[in-house]
DNA sequence: GCGCAACATTGATCAGGATCAAGCGGGATC
DNA sequence: GATCCCGCTTGATCCTGATCAATGTTGCGC
């Protein structure tokens, strides 16, 4: 799917056409920042299943997901694995100031990333405070979602975990199109049952069973194995166990 | 224990005597940064069990733990709670750029924090890039530990969870004194069995049973309920399930 | 069309940790 | 010193999700 690259029409002056730089790096689109970023960027593509980085690898770039999906994960010696990050388009990969990858990064679908060479990126960050500020905000967001994820892993039942994951995916899907999740929306699951299990700290059999249970209960409708219709988003939310004030997402 | 405050001997020129500013805010101790931080700081104390912030509260300060222990946690409507952060001396509380606390912060022991009023702190951050950089590094560290915590919550057995927690506490305890954990070291548990359970996604009964099991196996020795001796740190590490290369911590 | 492989579903059984319950120990209060 | 309470331990039983196993479905290469 290397066509993804040529479908992107970058223009160094118009932020709207550069989702990566706009959403993931620049807080406001200062033309000179964009020009300097332009000089140090390049693209990489990976096929589904291909590793991007192993934990411990030297990282010579930071990057932003253009299209496709990658996961951050940890694997124990005996093979138990836990996903610790799910990287969707516009998400940031890499840590300025660090030399080695702390976790495995794997492409779960065909993947295109926009890379910035790390050294010059760090220099640019030093001279352009707004990039550092933006990165701090993004990191704080990631920390918040990691912490919500911890509640899911530590305290929720299998059914609540599945409902929570569907709600998270629906929300991210909707926000990518600058919408909020709506009742009746369709959701294409980007993950296999096994990847969902690794996300939620379950086995793939339990994931499958709980999805079937939610289907049987009418909370979701399946179209094939990977497409989910959510007839009533509020009812799905009620299954997540989160207290939900019926606010803007209803 | 409000005596904690008067025991602190701050000196605006000598970083060594100001653990907060040195470890948690300044990356290098520029005298003028210190002076400006000095102007906007004040102290607060809390008693054991007292809330510092509820999720959703307005935050008018950022802060650094001086002494004592606080937790970050989330509670579901039915009372299930998951700890998502453990704040020990020198840890940072608060999010520059955010107005509301995302999680509950509770003092679990008597607690003293050094606060900086948020507005001026953010202004100082804007004009002093090294503070922003330092904060980004600290946030990245927190994100990494949140992700290791996710592996513990999602994939480890109860026994591995307990061993992991003891190893984490031992390591933090040692690093506070600029050491590495050693075999034979004593560790004063700062948490009740219930708080440990909330940390690990277990019940307090399971925590108690697994601690007894580790004791019976000779992996730890208990002195009273709260003091743990670790006869051989490598043996404890072997119980965590982490792959452990026998490296610098052995 | 056939065969194969990857992904998914479903069933039967097992076990780890939760739940319910009783009792212990030590420190604070009177 | 007696009492109470909180934190903790231990036991008995239950139940959710893991494990082991078989079968179903889809898509792809030939």
**pLDDT digit string (tens) for chain B, length 250 residues:** 322 222 232 323 333 323 344 444 444 445 566 677 777 888 999 999 999 999 999 999 999 998 899 999 999 999 999 999 999 988 999 999 899 999 999 999 999 998 999 999 998 888 888 888 889 999 999 999 999 999 999 999 999 999 999 999 999 989 878 899 999 999 999 999 999 999 999 999 999 999 999 999 999 999 999 999 999 999 999 999 998 764 444 3
B142 shares contact with chain A (CB less than 8 Å): yes
Residue B167 distance to chain A (closest CA, Å): 17
Strand (E) or helix (H) holding A197: helix A193-200
The pLDDT of residue A195 is 98
Q: Can you tell me the distance from the alpha carbon of B51 to that of A17, in angstroms, rounded to the nearest whole number?
A: 46
Residue entry with tokens 């209803």: A250
To the nearest 5 percent, what fractions of chain A are helix, strand and coil?
45, 20, 35
Residues A104-163: tens digit of each pLDDT: 999 999 999 989 999 999 988 888 888 888 899 999 999 999 999 999 999 999 999 999
Query: Does the domain at residues B156-239 carry the CATH identifier 3.20.80.10?
Result: no
SS3 B152: helix
What is the Cα–Cα distance from A5 to A220, expressed in whole angstroms?
34
DSSP for residue A246: S
pLDDT of residue B168: 97
Q: What is the pLDDT of residues A32-84, one digit of tens each?
A: 666 677 778 889 999 999 999 999 999 999 999 988 999 999 999 999 999 99
Cα B39 to the chain's mean position, in Å?
A: 26
Cα B236 to Cα B218: distance, rounded to the nearest angstrom? 10
Q: If DSSP states are collapsed to H, E and C, what string results for B184-217?
A: CCEEECCCCHHHHHHHHCCCHHHHHHHHHHHHHC
DSSP-based helix, strand, coil % in chain B, nearest 5: 45, 20, 35
Question: What is the phi/psi pair of residue B108, to 5°?
Answer: -100, -15
Q: Do B72 and B104 form a contact (C-beta atoms < 8 A)?
A: yes
Q: What residue ranges of chain B are covered by domains with CATH 1.10.10.10? A: 156-239
Residues of A in Cβ contact (< 8 Å) with B132: 129, 132-133, 136
What residue spans in chain A does CATH classification 1.10.10.10 cover?
157-239
User: What CATH number does the domain located at B3-142 have?
Assistant: 2.60.120.10
C-alpha–C-alpha distance, residues B56 and B141, integer Å? 24
State the fold for domain A3-150: Jelly Rolls (2.60.120)
CA distance B129 to A220: 49
Residues of chain B with CATH 2.60.120.10: 3-142
Chain mean pLDDT for chain A: 85
B86 touches strand D (CB under 7 A): no
A103 touches chain B (CB under 8 A): yes
At the second CATH level, the architecture of A157-239 is Orthogonal Bundle (1.10)
Q: Which residue has the higher pLDDT, A171 or B35?
A: A171
What is the spatial distance, in angstroms and rounded to an integer, between the CA atom of A188 and the C1' atom of C2? Answer: 31
Residues of B from 189 to 218 whose C-beta is within 7 A of strand D: which are they?
Answer: 192-194, 204-205, 207-209, 211-212
User: How do residues A177-217 score in pLDDT, each as one tens digit?
Assistant: 889 999 999 999 999 999 999 999 999 999 999 999 999 99
Predicted local distance difference test score (pLDDT) of residue A250:
35
Residue B133 pLDDT? 86
Q: In the sheet where B41-46 sits, what is the strand order? A: B41-46, B111-117, B61-67, B92-93
């Amino acid at each position: 799917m290397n066509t993804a690259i040529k479908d992107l029409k970058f223009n160094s002056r118009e932020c709207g056409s550069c989702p990566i730089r706009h959403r993931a790096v620049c807080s406001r689109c200062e033309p000179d920042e964009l020009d300097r970023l332009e000089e140090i960027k390049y693209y990489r593509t990976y096929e589904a299943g291909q590793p991007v980085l192993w934990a411990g690898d030297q990282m010579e770039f930071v990057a932003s997901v253009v299209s496709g999906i990658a996961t951050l994960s940890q694997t124990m010696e005996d093979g138990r694995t836990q996903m610790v990050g799910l990287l969707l388009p516009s998400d940031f990969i890499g840590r300025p100031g660090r030399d080695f990858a702390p976790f495995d990064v794997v492409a779960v679908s065909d993947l295109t990333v926009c890379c910035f060479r790390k050294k010059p990126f760090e220099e640019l960050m030093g001279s352009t405070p707004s990039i550092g500020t933006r990165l701090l905000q993004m990191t704080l967001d990631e920390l918040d979602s990691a912490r919500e994820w911890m509640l899911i892993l530590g305290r929720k039942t299998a059914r609540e975990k599945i409902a929570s994951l569907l709600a998270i995916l629906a929300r991210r899907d909707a926000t990518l199109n600058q919408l909020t999740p709506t009742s009746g929306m369709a959701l294409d699951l980007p993950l296999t049952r096994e990847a969902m299990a690794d996300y939620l700290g379950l086995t793939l059999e339990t994931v499958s069973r709980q999805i079937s249970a939610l289907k049987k209960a009418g909370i979701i409708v399946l179209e094939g194995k990977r497409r989910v219709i959510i007839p009533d988003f509020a009812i799905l939310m009620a299954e997540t166990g989160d207290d939900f004030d019926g606010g803007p997402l209803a």
